[in-house]
Chains A and B, each alone.
Chain A
Amino acid sequence: MSFDTTSHAAPSTAPSAGAQPETVQLLDPAGVLQENDRTAEFLPTIEALSDETLRQFHRDMVLTRRFDDEAGNLQRQGQLALWVPSHGQEAAQVGSARASRPQDHLFPSYREHAVGMVRGIDPVDVVRLLRGNTHGGWNPAERQNFHLYTLVIGSQTLHATGYALGITLDGDYATGDPERDTAVITYFGDGATSQGDVSEAFVFAASFQTPEVFFLQNNQWAISVPVATQSRTSLHLRGEGFGIPSTQIDGNDVLASYAVTLRDLDAARSGGGPRFIEALTYRIGAHTTSDDPTKYRTDAELQSWIARDPIVRYEAYLRGRGESDSFFAAVEEEANDLANDVRVRTLALEKPSTDLIFDNVYSEPHPRIDEQKEWLSHYESSFGESA
Chain B
Amino acid sequence: MTNTLPGTAETAAPTTETLPLGRALNAGLRKAMSDDPRVVLLGEDIATLGGVFRVTEGLKTEFGAKRVIDTPLAESGIIGACIGLAMRGFRPVAEIQFDGFIFPGFDQITSQLAKLTARHEGTMPFPVVIRVPYGGHIGAVEHHQESPEAYFAHTAGLRSVSPSTPHDAYWMIQEAIQSNDPIMFFEPKSRYWPKGPVDFTAPGAPLHASRVVRTGTEVTVLGHGAMVSVLLQAAEIAAEEGISIEVVDLRSLSPVDYGPILESVRKTGRLVIAQEAPQNASIASEIASTVAEKAFYSLEAPVLRVSGFDTPFPPAKLESVYLPDADRVLEAVDRALAY
Task: State whether A162 and B87 are in contact (beta carbons under 8 Å apart), knowing that A4-B48, A203-B74 are contacts in the complex.
Answer: yes
Q: Complex Cα distance A160/B81, Å?
A: 8
Residues of A within 8 A of B112 (CB): 150, 152, 155, 159
Residues of A within 8 A of B126 (CB): 363
A-contacting 9-mer, from B63-71, B130-138, B309-317, B323-331: B63-71
Give CA–CA (A197, B75) in the complex, Å.
10
A200 near B72: Cβ-Cβ < 8 Å: yes
Closest to B180 in A: A363
Assembled-state Cα–Cα distance A5/B286 (Å): 43
- Tell me the bound Cα distance from A197 to B115 in angstroms: 18
Nearest B residue to A357, CB-CB: B118
CA distance A169 to B85 in the complex (A): 10
Query: Which residues of the partner chain B approach A147 to less than 8 Å between Cβ atoms?
Result: 87
Identify which of residues 130-156 in chain A touch chain B, using a CB-to-CB cut-off of 8 Å: 134-136, 139-141, 147-148, 150, 152, 155
The 9 A-B pairs of least Cβ separation, nearest first, read: A162-B84, A158-B80, A166-B88, A162-B81, A200-B77, A163-B84, A363-B180, A139-B123, A4-B65
Q: In chain A, residues 192-237, which have Cβ atoms closer than 8 Å to a Cβ of chain B?
A: 196-197, 200-201, 203-204, 207
Is there an interface contact between A363 and B255, defined as CB atoms closer than 8 Å? no
Contact at A204–B122, with CB atoms within 8 Å? no
From A367, which residue of chain B is reached at the shortest CB distance? B255
Q: Does A377 contact B (CB under 8 A)?
A: no
Asked whether any CB of chain A lies closer than 8 Å to the CB of B57, the reply is no
Contacts of B88 in A (CB 8 A): 162-163, 166-167, 169-170
Asked if B66 and A169 sit within 8 Å, CB to CB, the answer is yes
Assembly CA distance A135 to B92 (angstroms): 25
- A361 & B74 in contact (Cβ 8 Å cutoff): no
Is B84 in contact with A158, judged by CB distance below 8 angstroms? yes
Asked if A204 and B74 make an inter-chain contact with CB atoms under 8 angstroms apart, the answer reads: yes
Q: A4-B65, A6-B48 are in contact. Are A164 and B107 (CB under 8 A)?
A: no
A37 at the interface (CB under 8 A from B): no
- Cα(A169)–Cα(B71), bound, Å: 14
Known pairs A158-B77, A200-B74; list 11 more (Cβ under 8 Å): A4-B48, A141-B124, A150-B112, A159-B80, A159-B84, A160-B84, A161-B81, A163-B87, A165-B84, A166-B85, A360-B118
User: Do residues A197 and B108 form an inter-chain contact, with CB atoms below 8 A?
Assistant: yes
With both chains docked as a complex, state the minimum distance between the C-beta of A121 and any C-beta of chain B, in angstroms.
Answer: 14
In chain B, what residue has the closest Cβ to A149?
B119
**Identity of the chain A residue whose Cβ is nearest the Cβ of B75 in the assembled complex:** A200
Residues on A with C-beta less than 8 A from B115 are 135
With A162-B81, A196-B76, A362-B181 in contact, is A2–B65 under 8 Å at CB?
Answer: yes
Residue of B with least CB distance to A206: B72
User: B157 and A361: CB pair below 8 A?
Assistant: yes
Residues of B within 8 A of A164 (CB): 84
Chain B residues whose C-beta falls within 8 Å of the C-beta of A158 in the assembled complex: 76-77, 79-81, 83-84, 108
Which residues of B lie under 8 Å from residue A141 when comparing CB positions?
A: 123-124
Report whether A135 and B76 are in contact in the complex, using a CB–CB cutoff of 8 Å. no
A203 touches B77 (CB 8 A): yes
As a 0/1 sequence over residues 105 to 129 of chain B, the CB contacts with chain A under 8 angstroms (1 = contact) are 0011001100101111111111100
Q: How many residues of A contact B (CB 8 A)?
A: 47
Query: Residues of B at under 8 Å CB distance from A?
Result: 40, 47-48, 65-67, 69-72, 74, 76-77, 79-90, 92, 104, 107-108, 111-112, 115, 117-127, 156-157, 159, 179-181, 255
In the assembly, what is the distance between CA of A196 and CA of B112, in Å?
15
Neighbouring B residues of A6 by C-beta, 8 Å: 48, 70
Residues of A with C-beta under 8 A to B66: 3, 169
- 1/0 contact trace for A111-144 toward B, CB 8 Å? 0000000000000000000000011100111000
Query: CB distance B180 to A203 under 8 Å?
Result: no
Whether A368 sits at the interface, judged by CB under 8 Å, is: yes
Tell me, yes or no, whether A325 is within 8 Å of chain B by CB: no
Is the C-beta of A177 less than 8 angstroms from some C-beta in chain B?
A: no
The answer on a CB contact under 8 Å between B80 and A140 is no
Kindly identify which residue among A140, A150, A203, A356 contacts B72, using a CB–CB cutoff of 8 Å.
A203
A201 to B89, CA, bound (A): 20
CB distance from B63 to the nearest CB of A (A): 11
Most-contacted residue by chain B among A136, A147, A155, A158 (CB, 10 A): A158
Contact across chains for A134 and B121 when beta carbons are under 8 A apart: yes
Contacting residues, chain B, for A150 (C-beta < 8 A):
112
CB pair A135–B119 under 8 Å, yes or no, is: yes
Q: Is A364 an interface residue (CB 8 A)?
A: yes
Could you show 13 A-B contacts with beta carbons less than 8 Å apart? A6-B70, A139-B123, A155-B107, A155-B111, A162-B83, A162-B85, A165-B81, A166-B87, A166-B88, A197-B80, A361-B117, A361-B156, A364-B181
The yes or no answer to A291 lying at the interface (CB within 8 A) is no
- Please, how many angstroms separate the alpha-carbon atoms of A167 and B85 in the complex? 9
State whether A140 touches B124 (Cβ < 8 A).
yes
Residues of B contacting A140 with CB < 8 Å? 120, 123-124
Are the CB atoms of A166 and B80 closer together than 8 Å? Answer: no
Chain A residue with the shortest CB-CB distance to B87: A163
Min CB gap A54→B, angstroms = 34
Kindly provide the distance from the CB of B205 to the nearest chain A CB, expressed in whole angstroms: 15
Cβ contact within 8 Å between B107 and A152: yes
Please tell me if the beta carbons of A363 and B84 are within 8 angstroms of each other in the complex: no
